[in-house]
């Protein structure tokens, strides 16, 4: 259990660029804190401006004294730190066969986690209700009703709150309870919600955004400074509008407004993105620098791209459909409708138990990506990789090594590493869809 902040403010109203700069420095300083003078030096703000910002943050319960530090002259300097428990966000990873949700504080530290079986093909109503139930139960199990005195924090605004600018948005963007056993995910229940083969039409959705937004669900008003819900799932999709396209293997989702449906159901801000983009954002916020590709191999295969420190989503937010580049003409059919896709070849090899071949195919795709974008690093993640990390890191690395030898030069091969975060990296990244903009790092 975590105590709530003494004071508070609606965190989503903190849109000031300067405030975001100060908050980010407080976050990265950790428990040791940082002085106002250092904040002024590192942000370029005047000491007076920093004093005003930090005074407001302290009043709102977002910053607190971390002690005093000796100075080169005069009295010791007071150092300030972020108050992690002053705010929380939920991150949900919707996979094709399961849901994983995490509740994180302002530091991005996981304070609660829930995992449950889920059929992404069960229909819109079943999936939306499954996400809503998991979110409510995770908050109740982690923080409990004793944390319900939000006071000046004001709870979570509805999805059309003025601080958001538009439904489901976040500032600066256009667009613990015991952890369940890994081997025994809980079930979210039935698969009712549509007849077999019937698409989840937005016109039939009872949660479509008509009329005024509902008040926040009571479960979330008990969470100090609750920012909202980030949802990450397989693409393709429209990140700006929160609308799904023909999700690979589940084309019936085409056109469904998942963001607005969840926002209507829960009464809180919601952001939707591809699973690979969310994971890449989490990695960038967590300290991975430069340009890198995060390759996610689980029930499908995709890529999250970070170019020059920022997540690259493309003009239509569709970048990263890595698994559907064709590398074998007239190859085996893929669930996307094409033939010879890397995803089909890679998952086919996994199904046969030929992990060496799966890694070789994945490596061929990674080499194409490295040659096209000249990235600094390849990070591997996803359930399939997590089950045999050495085989995939070694196999993909071998292909990139061979490519580097063919090309020559002195820089060597693009390094390949296992992505930190394990199997909950996507869910943690989904929470960063809400957290990162608060610190001025919406695209890291």
Give residue-wise pLDDT tens across range 215-274.
Answer: 778 888 777 789 999 999 999 999 999 999 999 889 999 999 999 999 999 999 999 999
What pLDDT, on the 0 to 100 scale, is given for residue 210?
55
Q: What distance in Å separates the CA atoms of residue 281 and residue 36, rounded to the nearest whole number? A: 29
Edge-to-edge order in the sheet of strand 77-82: 34-35, 77-82, 63-69
DSSP codes joined into one string, 53-93: HHHHHHHTTSEEEEEEE--SSSSPEEEEEE-GGG-EEEEEE
pLDDT in the model for residue 7: 33
pLDDT of the residue at 259: 97
Which residues, other chains included, contact 31 with Cβ-Cβ below 8 Å and sequence gap of 6+? 66, 81
| pLDDT recorded at residue 63 | 97
pTM: 0.82
Residue 183 is predicted with a pLDDT of 39
| Peptide bond preceding 16 in cis form (omega within 30 of 0) | no
pLDDT at 35: 96
Confidence (pLDDT) at 154 = 36
pLDDT tens, residue order, the chain (444 aa): 333 333 334 454 444 889 999 999 999 999 999 999 999 999 999 999 999 999 999 999 999 999 888 776 667 889 999 999 999 999 999 999 999 999 999 999 999 999 999 999 999 999 999 999 999 999 989 987 544 333 333 333 333 332 222 333 333 343 433 333 333 344 444 333 333 344 444 444 444 545 566 777 888 877 778 999 999 999 999 999 999 999 988 999 999 999 999 999 999 999 999 999 999 999 999 999 999 999 999 999 999 999 999 999 999 988 999 999 999 999 999 999 999 999 999 999 999 999 999 999 999 999 999 999 999 999 999 999 999 999 999 999 999 999 999 988 778 899 999 999 999 999 999 999 999 999 998 776
**Ordered alpha helix ranges (H), 154-310:** 218-221, 258-266, 275-285
């Amino acid at each position: 259990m975590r105590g709530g902040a003494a004071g508070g403010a609606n965190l989503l109203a903190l849109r000031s660029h300067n405030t975001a700069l100060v908050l980010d420095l407080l976050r990265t300083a950790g428990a040791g804190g940082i002085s106002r003078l250092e904040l002024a030096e590192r942000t370029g703000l005047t000491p007076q401006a920093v004093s005003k910002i930090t005074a407001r943050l302290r009043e709102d319960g977002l910053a607190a004294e971390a002690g005093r530090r000796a100075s080169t002259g005069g009295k010791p300097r007071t150092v300030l730190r972020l108050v992690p428990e002053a705010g929380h966000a939920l991150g949900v990873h919707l996979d094709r066969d399961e849901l994983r949700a995490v509740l994180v504080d302002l530091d991005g530290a996981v304070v609660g986690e829930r995992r449950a079986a889920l059929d992404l093909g069960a229909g819109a109503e079943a999936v939306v209700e499954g996400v809503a139930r998991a979110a409510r139960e995770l908050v109740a199990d982690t923080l409990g009703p004793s944390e319900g005195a939000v006071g000046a924090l004001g709870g979570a605004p509805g999805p059309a709150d003025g601080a958001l600018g538009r439904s489901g948005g976040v500032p600066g963007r256009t667009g613990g309870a015991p952890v369940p056993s890994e081997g025994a995910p809980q079930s979210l229940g039935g698969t009712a919600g549509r007849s077999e083969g019937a698409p989840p039409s937005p016109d039939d959705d009872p949660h479509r955004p008509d009329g005024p937004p509902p008040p926040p669900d009571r479960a979330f008003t008990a969470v100090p400074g609750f920012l909202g819900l980030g949802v990450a799932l397989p693409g393709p999709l429209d990140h700006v509008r929160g609308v799904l396209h023909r999700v690979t293997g589940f084309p019936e989702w085409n056109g469904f407004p998942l963001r607005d449906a969840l926002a209507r159901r829960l009464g809180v801000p919601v952001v939707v993105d591809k699973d690979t983009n969310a994971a890449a954002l989490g990695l960038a916020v967590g300290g991975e620098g430069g340009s890198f590709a995060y390759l996610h191999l689980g029930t499908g295969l995709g890529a999250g791209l970070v170019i020059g420190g920022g997540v690259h989503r493309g003009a239509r937010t569709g970048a990263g459909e890595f698994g559907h580049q064709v590398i074998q003409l007239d190859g085996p059919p893929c669930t996307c409708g094409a033939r010879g896709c890397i995803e089909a070849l890679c998952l086919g090899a996994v199904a046969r138990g030929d992990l060496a071949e799966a890694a070789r195919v994945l490596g061929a795709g990674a080499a194409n990506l490295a040659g096209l974008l000249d990235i600094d690093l390849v990070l591997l993640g996803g359930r399939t990789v997590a089950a045999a990390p050495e085989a995939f890191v070694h196999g993909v690395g071998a292909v990139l090594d061979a490519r580097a030898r063919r090309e020559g030069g002195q820089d060597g091969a693009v390094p390949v590493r296992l992505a930190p975060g394990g199997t909950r990296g996507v869910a943690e990244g989904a929470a960063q869809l809400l957290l990162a903009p608060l610190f001025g790092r919406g695209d890291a």
